[in-house]
Amino acid sequence: MSNSPWYEKTSILRFSRRQFIGATATSAFAAVAADCLFMPQLNAQITLTPNDALKELMDGNERFVSGRMTSFEHDLQILKEHTVDKQEPFAAVLACADSRVPVELIFDETIGQIFVTRVAGNVVTPEIIGSLEYGAAVLGIKIIMILGHANCGAVKAAIQGKDVPGQISSLFPHIQPAIDKAGSDLAAVTKANAEIQAKLLRESSPVIAPLVKEGKLKVVSGVYTLATGKVTLS
Ligand SMILES: [Zn+2]
């Protein structure tokens, strides 16, 4: 089970929908007991180290790439019920708004597992920093991943630097440092952008920086390849 989601690693959390229905059919008491046994998963993140949390994300991506996903086996109704009053996601991901980067899917995770922020170009803005600070300080996430992706329209537009309508150009200054560093190659700028945004977050937030220093939180960057579904850390 080493490749399974963290909340499955204790046997009491391995109830599939079928098993749960089986339990209810056996006796009402068993059903209540099974239901209550789902509660410990809400505290499971406490025992995770940042490296465990990163491994969980990358293992999930491996399951996604190989088509061996397990997140659909969980009973969403039960997960919903037990996360109504509380959430304890183990990871946060800052991804692009791009429709081809569905965060939970590509990491094979389900309700309550990932705290997701998304904005075109996966750039760190004050609102994004505030959201991720909440994830780190209040929710206790162990890992933050800044996730760029192949063929990113926002990065492409920033490299081209043409006139664009509305406020689209408000994204450009955030991406410019990556262009300054990596030139005009889309893949190189995308990778550099994720790295720069991660560094910015790691070093500039008065909430996140000390947690990183104390080893309680890790901020990493990666790039998602659309064609393969693979996330590559940088
Ligand atoms: Zn994008």
Specify the pLDDT at position 72. Answer: 87
* Token couple for 123: 């750039």
127 vs 91: CA distance, rounded Å: 18
9: left (phi over 0), alpha (psi -120 to 50) or beta: alpha
Domain 5-233 classification at class level: alpha beta
From ligand 1's centre to the CA of 184, what distance in Å?
16
From ligand 1's centre to the CA of 5, what distance in Å?
27
The DSSP-derived string for 122-133 is ----HHHHHHHH
From ligand 1's centre to the CA of 190, what distance in Å?
9
Q: From 94, 109, 81, select the one nearest 201 (Cα to Cα).
A: 94
From ligand 1's centre to the CA of 67, what distance in Å?
24
The 10 Å Cβ neighbour count of residue 61 is: 21
162, 110 Cβ separation under 8 angstroms: no
103 vs 187: CA distance, rounded Å: 20
From ligand 1's centre to the CA of 122, what distance in Å?
7
114 vs 135: CA distance, rounded Å: 10
* Token couple for 185: 């190659």
From ligand 1's centre to the CA of 121, what distance in Å?
5
From ligand 1's centre to the CA of 15, what distance in Å?
36
Per-residue pLDDT of the chain in tens (234 residues, 90 and over written 9): 344 444 444 323 333 433 443 433 333 433 433 443 333 344 556 689 999 999 999 999 999 999 999 998 988 888 899 899 999 999 999 999 999 999 999 999 999 999 999 999 999 999 999 999 999 999 999 999 999 999 999 999 999 999 999 999 999 999 999 999 999 999 999 999 999 999 999 999 999 999 999 999 999 999 999 999 999 999
From ligand 1's centre to the CA of 119, what distance in Å?
8
pLDDT tens-digit readout, 173-211: 999 999 999 999 999 999 999 999 999 999 999 999 999
From ligand 1's centre to the CA of 142, what distance in Å?
25
From ligand 1's centre to the CA of 214, what distance in Å?
32
From ligand 1's centre to the CA of 176, what distance in Å?
15
* Alpha-carbon torsion angle 192, 206, 50, 223, nearest 10: -20
From ligand 1's centre to the CA of 97, what distance in Å?
6
DSSP-H helix ranges across 71-152: 76-81, 103-106, 126-137
58, 92 Cβ separation under 8 angstroms: no
